[in-house]
Amino acid sequence: MRILTQMALAVSAGFLLPSPSAAESESVCASAQTTVEIGECVSKAYDEADAELNAVWKQVMATFETIDYMPAEDLKAWKDTLLASQRDWISFKEEDCAAVGYEWFGGTGRSNAEVFCLLDHTTARTKNLKARFLDR
């Protein structure tokens, strides 16, 4: 029961970061009463956040097509570096969130805690990429 209460508190405290897709899920999560309901809710929110990140990533990559102020070899190096950092970020996200599961060892909220972590990292990365490449 303690884990369910902590999950419900995480939802009500705004653990789901604001985004157009998460706002809708947050209202659904607010009414979740069981670990299963919370899991379904946060999984849906994560799927939406992941889809948004993938769409933003495509937009970010498209910005390189319009850059005309730098030599082609430098532009390619920048793009390659960003791609490598995104791959490293994915590995970090997955490993960091797997580690969160140990904080809930033996509890029924373990898998939900991992998905909350994935959601948190994904929405933060999306926000970061938008600020750096799309919102300027």
Tell whether pTM > 0.85: no
Which whole-number Å values give the CA distances from 13 to 6, 24, 70, 106, 133, in the listed order? Answer: 10, 15, 45, 24, 30
> Looking at per-residue confidence, does 57 or 136 come out higher?
57
The pLDDT value given to residue 23: 44
pLDDT confidence of residue 20: 37
* pLDDT, position 25: 40
Average pLDDT over residues 36-42: 91
pLDDT in tens, 55-103: 999 999 999 999 999 999 999 999 999 999 999 999 999 999 999 988 8
d(CA 74, CA 86): 18
Q: Coil, helix or strand for 21?
A: helix
Spell out the domain ranges in the chain: 2-134
Judge whether residue 28 has pLDDT over 50: no
CB 40 within 8 A of CB 25: no
What would the pLDDT profile of 90-127 be if each residue is shown by its tens digit?
A: 999 999 999 998 888 888 889 999 999 999 999 999 99
Residue 12 has pLDDT above 50, yes or no: no
- The encoded tokens of residue 131 equal 């600020």
